[in-house]
Amino acid sequence: MQQQSGHTIKAFDEDIERLRGLISEMGQLAHQAIRESMRCLIERDTEGALRVVERDKEIDRLEIETEKRVVQLIALRAPMAGDLRDAVAALKISGVVERIGDYAKNIAKRVPLLDGASDIEPVSLLPEMARIATDMVTDVLRAFVERDAPAAVRVCERDQAVDDFYDSIFRTLLTHMMENPHNIGQSAHLLFVAKNLERVGDHATNIAEMVYYAATGEHMVEPTKKRRRKTT
Q: Is the pLDDT of residue 76 over 60?
A: yes
Cβ contact 144:206 at 8 Å: no
pLDDT band at 82 (very low <50, low <70, confident <90, very high): confident
**Is the full-model pTM beyond 0.95?**
no
Tens digits of residue pLDDT in 183-227: 788 888 999 999 999 999 999 999 999 999 988 888 887 644 444
The residue extents of the domains of the chain are 2-224
Give the pLDDT mean for 41-61: 94
Cβ contact 178:143 at 8 Å: no
Q: Which CATH architecture has domain 2-224?
A: Up-down Bundle (1.20)
Highest mean pLDDT among 18-22, 31-35, 179-183: 31-35
Q: What is the pLDDT of residue 231?
A: 35
From the CB of residue 117, how many other CB atoms can be counted at a distance below 10 Å?
Answer: 14
CA distance 55 to 29: 9
DSSP 3-state of 217: coil
Tens digits of residue pLDDT in 127-162: 999 999 999 999 999 999 889 999 999 999 999 999
CA distance 198 to 165: 8
| Cα torsion angle, 112, 118, 122, 126, sign | positive
- Taking alpha carbons only, the member of 117, 101, 110, 122 closest to residue 55 is 101
